[in-house]
Amino acid sequence: MSKKFKDFSEEEKNIYRQNMRHSAAHVMAEAVTKIFPKAKVTLGPPIKDGFYYDFDVEKPFTPENLKEITKLMQKIINKNSLFVGREVSKTEAFELVKDNQYKKEILESMENDSTVTFWSHSNGEFEDLCRGGHVNSTGEIKSFKLLSTAGAYWRGDENNRMLQRIYGTAWESKEALREYTNRIEEAEKRDHRKLGKSLNLFFFDPIAPASPFFLPNGTVILNELEKYVKDLYKLYEYKEVITPQIFNTELWKRSGHYENYLENMFFVSIDEKEFGVKPMNCPAAALVYASEIHSYRDLPLRLADFGRLHRNERSGVTHGLTRVRSFSQDDAHIFCKFDQIEAEIAKFLNMLNESYKTFKFDNIRFELSLRPEKRVGDDNTWNESEKILKNILDKNKYKYSMQSGEGAFYGPKIDAFVPDAIGREWQLGTVQLDFSLPERFDLEYVEEDGSRQKPVVIHRAMLGSLERFLGVLIEHLSGNFPTWLSPVQVIIIPITDKHLDYSCNVYKKFKSQNIRIEIDESNERMNAKIRNAQLRKIPYMFIIGDNEMSSNTVSVRTRNGEETNSISTEDILDKVNSEILNRF
């Protein structure tokens, strides 16, 4: 490495790290095959912040195995051997991998390649079918760590053999690795699945795989999220609709989902006819629009639908709340004229920014995805649409990048990405232009001159799936919800039983204001009650003893340890109400 890592551009750093991690995966495969001679290597790519390799072995790897593999990897790295690639014919390649059915299958999929490359490092003891992308030598893998093991089906297909995957990470320095492992530890503390259980928000049961059951606490939060969005809908002039859950398959054929989304849908038979369970709201929104005749005066028409959706996600990709099979989303479809697109999208991005600030998400980044190779609509329409989206981002001075070929087949789109409290980036909101839906459903409006014109459809979601958003929010806030979102906003802690009557009076006063309040009447000592309230992450604790009773006050303790002694109930009620009303 002729230039120091610190002097690299961000793009150069990313490429270097990717090559280093690819090299680390190669070294790991060599170590595994030396320790387990019967192991068959399959695929081992670099991934975000790390790498993995899948192996066909007799037994799953154990923590002790990982320690042994790590030691041997370090020995290989210390030799500082050069990485060397060689090009061979396909015929020779098949001979080299004749005992590995996985590598043979990879070669068979490389139909257009007359030659392929194998990589090793200069000791020549291990060679792997590989396209390349390595650092110069093993010694450039400065700091690495094997993280975990997991089962993984070959090619991600559950009909194939289960392999054993080892995940690892590699960095340019020990300091960088330490920073990363600290982030991982913090992420584990914030894991929404653990916090969801400890805070009694939701649970999963095999009786309904990847479909969450929301407990009362979790339901409070979901209802508050929905109420928040609906309040914005009133401000931004959306109209809510409710549409069915199940539609005859003819609808899904007409919309294109039967052709392009079949494997992700659930189907049922009713009266010997096939019906599909709704995976998204778009076709239903088209039917609502088509149910009436519309003139140019009706547009833009903003239709919002919180309907529950179901998608047949494969079990290997489901994950807590962030990838589920049953969910609802703040979905809406805007039917408008072509010359209204810019104003409507600008207005939506304003709403999106407003909402993200409410949830303490900063530094929003946008991605503008441009026309894919397979698309509908003529080039002039695409040119103008992409120009409109770019102009909106430029005028508002939003940070954004452009992704060629990543737009939807029906139009370009803007996706919103936000970093959470520990720097992980999440894609949340999206806004997409659609020229296909009006064509497929013969949607029209009557123009001022009496002619019939096709509207444009804007698909948009702000929070997206409420389930997924809640999972992200739990981890972002580490479960410390703001007062307006907290399932329990205030808990009263009487020091002894003689303070219960006064505590009940305070309880009634706050309950009458619709504050979510409880009294801890347990036999625990006061400090234990405070500790329990902190574990439940309740924003406010009211401590009530003799002084508070005699002065008609409460002593307030927040979950982060701040204390205010003997504050009047009116003053603290005003403060709590203000936080709820203003959502902070």
Q: Give the C-alpha separation, 182 to 82, whole Å.
A: 31
Give catalytic status of residue 319 as yes or no.
no
Bridge-based pairing of strands 413-419 and 365-369 is antiparallel
Helix, strand or coil, per DSSP, at residue 453: strand
- Catalytic residue selected from 282, 371, 375, 468: 282
- Catalytic residue selected from 311, 375, 460, 499: 311
Q: Burial letters for 170-192: b for 16+ Cβ neighbours within 10 Å, e otherwise?
A: bbbeeebbeebeeeeeeeeebeb
- Long-range CB contact pairs, 559-565, < 8 A, 24+: 559/480, 559/533, 559/534, 560/480
Give catalytic status of residue 134 as yes or no.
no
Helix, strand or coil, per DSSP, at residue 570: helix
- Catalytic residue selected from 257, 371, 413, 557: 413
Give catalytic status of residue 253 as yes or no.
no
DSSP string, 140-181: G--EEEEEEEEEEEGGG-TTS-EEEEEEEEEESSHHHHHHHH
Q: Give the C-alpha separation, 311 to 26, whole Å.
A: 37
Q: Give the C-alpha separation, 252 to 310, whole Å.
A: 14
Q: Which residue from 386, 394, 350, 347 is spatially nearest to 369, judged by alpha carbons?
A: 386
Given the structure tokens 């010694």, which residue do they identify? 139
Question: Hey, how many other C-beta atoms are within 10 angstroms of the C-beta on 159?
Answer: 7
Query: What is the identity of the amino acid at 176?
Result: A
- Catalytic residue selected from 164, 329, 432, 489: 329
Q: Give the C-alpha separation, 349 to 462, whole Å.
A: 9
Give catalytic status of residue 440 as yes or no.
no
- Catalytic residue selected from 54, 305, 331, 420: 331
Q: What ranges make up the beta strands (E) of 115-272?
A: 115-121, 128-129, 143-153, 162-171, 202-203, 213-214, 239-240, 246-248, 267-270
- Give residue 272's region: left, alpha or beta (phi > 0; psi -120 to 50): left
- Long-range CB contact pairs, 554-558, < 8 A, 24+: 554/492, 554/506, 557/530
Using an 8 Å Cβ cutoff, are 439 and 376 in contact? yes
Give catalytic status of residue 130 as yes or no.
no
DSSP designation for 93: H
Give catalytic status of residue 329 as yes or no.
yes
- Catalytic residue selected from 190, 325, 459, 468: 459
Strand partners, 562: none
Give catalytic status of residue 333 as yes or no.
yes
- Catalytic residue selected from 21, 333, 371, 476: 333
Q: Give the C-alpha separation, 383 to 371, whole Å.
A: 9
Contacts of 333 (CB under 8 A, 6+ apart): 281, 282, 285, 286, 289, 302, 303, 305, 457, 458, 459, 460
- The angle at the Cα of 67, spanning 66 to 72, to the nearest 5 degrees, equals 95
Q: Give the C-alpha separation, 20 to 137, whole Å.
A: 9
Please provide the distance, in angstroms rounded to a whole number, between the alpha carbons at the two ends of the chain. Answer: 49
CA quadruple 337, 339, 343, 346: dihedral, nearest 10 = 100
Q: Which residue from 301, 315, 311, 334 is spatially nearest to 245, judged by alpha carbons?
A: 311
Helix, strand or coil, per DSSP, at residue 275: strand
Q: What ranges make up the beta strands (E) of 523-562?
A: 540-544, 553-558
Is the N-terminal amide bond of 539 cis, ω within 30° of 0?
no
Active-site amino acid positions: 282, 311, 329, 331, 333, 413, 459
